[in-house]
Amino acid sequence: MLEEIKLNAVYTTKETQNLLKISSSTVKRLLKKGILRANKVGGQYRIWGKEIIRLISPELEYRSGKAYMKLKNKFVNVINKW
């Protein structure tokens, strides 16, 4: 059964390992190299769901960033006209 990765959920390294079906050493390596970004809380890593999605789907991140910039520019233009 596939689990849904929630954008705003926070996952432990063990949960991330299970979601991605990779070993714990691979998760540690991804964190150490900065490929998978996380925050350290109480000596343990916490990983946002959006970071996991970014890792497995960089195209999705690129498209959402592009859409964000388009919307931002539209609002900047409206504000500048005031």
Is pLDDT above 70 for 2? Answer: no
| Residue 27 neighbours by CB under 8 Å, 6+ apart | 13, 16, 17, 20, 36
Is pLDDT above 70 for 47? Answer: yes
| Residue 37 pLDDT | 92
| Residue 52 pLDDT | 92
Q: Is the four-CA dihedral 53, 58, 60, 66 of positive or negative sign? A: positive
pLDDT tens-digit map of 48-75: 999 998 888 867 666 666 777 788 888 8
| Residue 44 pLDDT | 95
Q: Which CATH architecture has domain 10-81?
A: Orthogonal Bundle (1.10)
